[in-house]
Structure 1
């Protein structure tokens, strides 16, 4: 009997065209990100619109705007905002561009980094990319769809910002340029993330590396703009500066954005070239082989937690300390300009005699949010360990679930306290070098530790969500985001007191400018303890994902 074999109809892995399936994957990624993109767009557009309206109310005439323009001569303001244009005739548009653009550009960059890593390295780490490649999907289709989805996200943000600026009454050309500069800057750092995703096997490393590049770009731009208020040669090494050099609403020029476009093309080509040199799921940087036997410390829950979190802890602490030191060194310049800038004392809430203390307290408030962000990310690592099944393996080897939870929590608390102390000491060291008083090191270190109850309260909220409603654990980030929003834009937007009070950091005395009050510290400490007790009770009642 003869059997006739027809032509094969199955499609083997790799047989598809390089970009086959990119349209379907793009629709999938956009569907998965529809809420994220909407939230980012509305948040940034709403912030821009509210900021412009607040600036109109706070600085209604030319005299008040010119007084505000004098503030931009201070190095601290330059570092936190950027180069200043149009200060001779400080219009509302110039004020918006000079004082808001940096925040918007950095936010778009962070959004792009998170989305690119989510759809590239995270997909590989979870094994989903390998499943996709088993279908008739081209080798370049998944990363191409990821980058296109990020481009759509940046376009949505750019359009939202443009509409918000025009609705607030600013001229159309500058508003369009603002939106385009935001989208292009976001894409630059999205391309950076596409490159960093090629090196490590883990999404956290890819995200951390890309955010590190963003931090370096921020500091390079700041240092360059301090050298020259309109931007020095050093500024041009930062992609953030390219967007700011468009001179929005003052002397609009588009050509600096061509540098961003060129870098995007180069980085994407580099990402493609690097991706061809590695296997799916692997990284260019091969993991170091571990010892044949585990170190004694890894046999305990705290030792394991320390090993998992030490890289993140060191990275956050060093970054915050360096930034704090740089900010601290600017303390002496404030007293030199206070007589010429009356608004500066109002912004810091200080009289001339306590200006340095108020400056240190303000800078500390900004950086404490970074410590809270690190602590929440550390708690989210517990959730990742559980989702990956590794927490279940630890439990079945003999460690009780409470020992695992409380041991990990003890490490997170200790790391948060060390990060606070180091950050405060770094700010104090910079201030000591600036004003010639070594006592600032101990004062700022102590001031940072005053924030410990508030930071530990944020940690306790994250742990409680993780223990009781693990799927909602990421809601802990809402506290951090709100603290950032209130700390950075609370005064500009005239946020009412009742809304500011939702930020735990708002209840902490602004030491060393203000006196320490025990009541809020005790309340937050007690609340954190209660939340931990509730978390322990809830964690005992639910299953550990294996």
Structure 2
């Protein structure tokens, strides 16, 4: 692995902002939950009642995992149960970025012309990613110990975060060998992450009933991590399973790397027809062919979210029974009349932010087309740049609408009780904010194409504001950076037109500026 250290330095230089950002910021999120729980539960009796209800709540178990215990440290660790999945996603994307993306762009071939070992680039990407995951875990442990929590439990809690990153860094090491493109590697990795999450959810919810499918949790690295139970059991063997999984997947990735050609993947691309069918002779038809798999996958995922959130809604009344503080919390997060309306209004903001990630991903498909040379080929015909951009923007703008509609319908039907109209309306109201983030991606792609990945910073900042903005009582000027803070709350609130129109106009202006930049720059760039 000659040259690994030099490549590691290069990765750290390229990601000198991104790596510390997600490692440190995500590591500090659990500390914000301490203040939240202390403000909600003013007595031990209230916290114990909440814990008792949550232990048997299928919706909360689906989101955060099983709850064992009722102390404040246990509740904080449980409430953070979804965060290791976020770390796994960041780790996966980081490994793909510094391996398959560089190979696809031709940088790997240039580096390989020097004195560099075949496995050096993969090794450097894994070391950097795993080091960032380790830093994230140490930040968690230090923050918890600083708040007076038990040291052994704090390190077990931090290990959950670290091993979540390590496990899916290993998955990415395999994915980049299987696919011949960065987009394909990301898709394989994200599907693996989704399957791991679904297995964990299915097993843990089954354990509430007859337990016949509870074994599914033990088929998932995410399931292993949720069974560590920091501050209660500090179970070591689930952590050992995750560590072993990481080592095996990394070793498999290195082995597979030696079995493929540079620039190729082990899964051979399917050969296409020698001539285009009638359905592929317009830019929009081609865009549909490129985006349809993504649209179907995201729509299905949003339907699953609707099923989970709708199920949780049916038990929100039980959670707040006799605890005015919980009722006030939901009312503060969103909505103005009725606890259930407030709950679904707050969930709409979360779902909208997830939809924005889909919009950014769909928009950046244009950058993939440019880097692979496909866009240049299309533009060599009578297709204009505006037509090419517009065909993809149809799916960047309307694709999230379809996914949000699916979530709203499924959530409304699952919950029932006459709220379906308000739930769907509240979900679809997130579209102007989603379009703003998609338009930012268009602007970056059109003006600074080499910095296209910076477009992901917009949903990351919005996520940070959503997670800790209110808890840390940030200045309202900082909160207003997120377009989602300007969206009216439904069900349960009024719908003024001004913020919706303003956000839509802002999105249109940003998109027009991006289109103007695309017309004036070289392609590819």
Superposition TM-score, scaled by structure 1 size: 0.85
Residue of 64, 76, 84 corresponding to 2:59: 76
Shift of 1:290: 0.6
* Cα distance between partner residues in 2 of 1:169 and 1:79: 29
**Which residue matches 1:333?**
315
**Which residue matches 1:271?**
253
The question of 1:96 aligning with 2:76 is answered: yes
Classify 1:119/1:366 alpha carbon distance in 2 versus 1 (closer, same or farther; 3 Å): same
**TM alignment of 1:285-324, pairs within 5 A:** 285-324=267-306
Shift of 1:174: 1.9
Q: What is the DSSP-based 3-state SS (H/G/I as helix, E as strand, rest coil) of the residue aligned with 2:17?
A: helix
* Cα distance between partner residues in 1 of 2:149 and 2:412: 41
1:451–1:505 Cα contact (<8 Å) kept: yes
1:53–1:168 Cα contact (<8 Å) kept: no
**Which residue matches 2:100?**
121
Shift of 1:472: 4.4
Shift of 1:374: 0.8
Q: What is the DSSP-based 3-state SS (H/G/I as helix, E as strand, rest coil) of the residue aligned with 1:329?
A: helix
Shift of 1:351: 10
**TM alignment of 1:355-504, pairs within 5 A:** 355-432=339-416, 440=420, 442-504=421-483
Shift of 1:201: 1.0
* Cα distance between partner residues in 1 of 2:321 and 2:41: 20
* Cα distance between partner residues in 2 of 1:50 and 1:352: 24
* Cα distance between partner residues in 2 of 1:69 and 1:443: 30
Superposition RMSD in Å = 3.0
Structure 2: state its 5+ residue gaps.
none
Shift of 1:113: 0.4
* Cα distance between partner residues in 2 of 1:240 and 1:275: 26
**Which residue matches 2:505?**
526
1:345–1:351 Cα contact (<8 Å) kept: no
Residue of 33, 39, 58 corresponding to 2:21: 39
* Cα distance between partner residues in 2 of 1:503 and 1:69: 32
Shift of 1:71: 5.3
* Cα distance between partner residues in 1 of 2:294 and 2:82: 24
Classify 1:135/1:498 alpha carbon distance in 2 versus 1 (closer, same or farther; 3 Å): closer
Q: What is the DSSP-based 3-state SS (H/G/I as helix, E as strand, rest coil) of the residue aligned with 1:307?
A: helix
CA displacement 1:92-144 (0-9 Å, x = unmatched): x22221212x2431222112101221222223322333344444433333323
2:59–2:308 Cα contact (<8 Å) kept: no
**TM alignment of 1:223-302, pairs within 5 A:** 223-228=202-207, 232-302=214-284
**Which residue matches 1:144?**
123
Shift of 1:270: 2.9
* Cα distance between partner residues in 2 of 1:125 and 1:83: 41
Structure (1 or 2) with the larger CA radius of gyration = 1
1:85–1:94 Cα contact (<8 Å) kept: yes
2:54–2:67 Cα contact (<8 Å) kept: yes
Shift of 1:342: 4.3
Classify 1:536/1:113 alpha carbon distance in 2 versus 1 (closer, same or farther; 3 Å): closer
* Cα distance between partner residues in 1 of 2:128 and 2:311: 41
The question of 1:205 aligning with 2:205 is answered: no
* Cα distance between partner residues in 2 of 1:83 and 1:376: 33
Shift of 1:513: 2.8
Residue of 187, 205, 222 corresponding to 2:201: 222
* Cα distance between partner residues in 1 of 2:486 and 2:115: 56
Q: What is the DSSP-based 3-state SS (H/G/I as helix, E as strand, rest coil) of the residue aligned with 1:544?
A: coil
CA displacement 1:425-459 (0-9 Å, x = unmatched): 22223224xx5x6x72x553333322222222222
Residue of 160, 167, 180 corresponding to 2:139: 160
1:49–1:167 Cα contact (<8 Å) kept: no
* Cα distance between partner residues in 2 of 1:97 and 1:227: 22
Q: What is the DSSP-based 3-state SS (H/G/I as helix, E as strand, rest coil) of the residue aligned with 1:34?
A: coil
> Stretches of 4+ moved more than 6 A in 1?
350-353
**Which residue matches 2:158?**
179
* Cα distance between partner residues in 1 of 2:451 and 2:247: 38
Superposition TM-score, scaled by structure 2 size: 0.89
* Cα distance between partner residues in 2 of 1:493 and 1:239: 32
2:337–2:493 Cα contact (<8 Å) kept: no
2:351–2:427 Cα contact (<8 Å) kept: no
**Which residue matches 1:62?**
44
How many residue pairs get aligned? The number is: 519
1:55–1:492 Cα contact (<8 Å) kept: no
Classify 1:330/1:60 alpha carbon distance in 2 versus 1 (closer, same or farther; 3 Å): closer
Shift of 1:148: 2.2
Residue of 52, 56, 68 corresponding to 1:85: 68
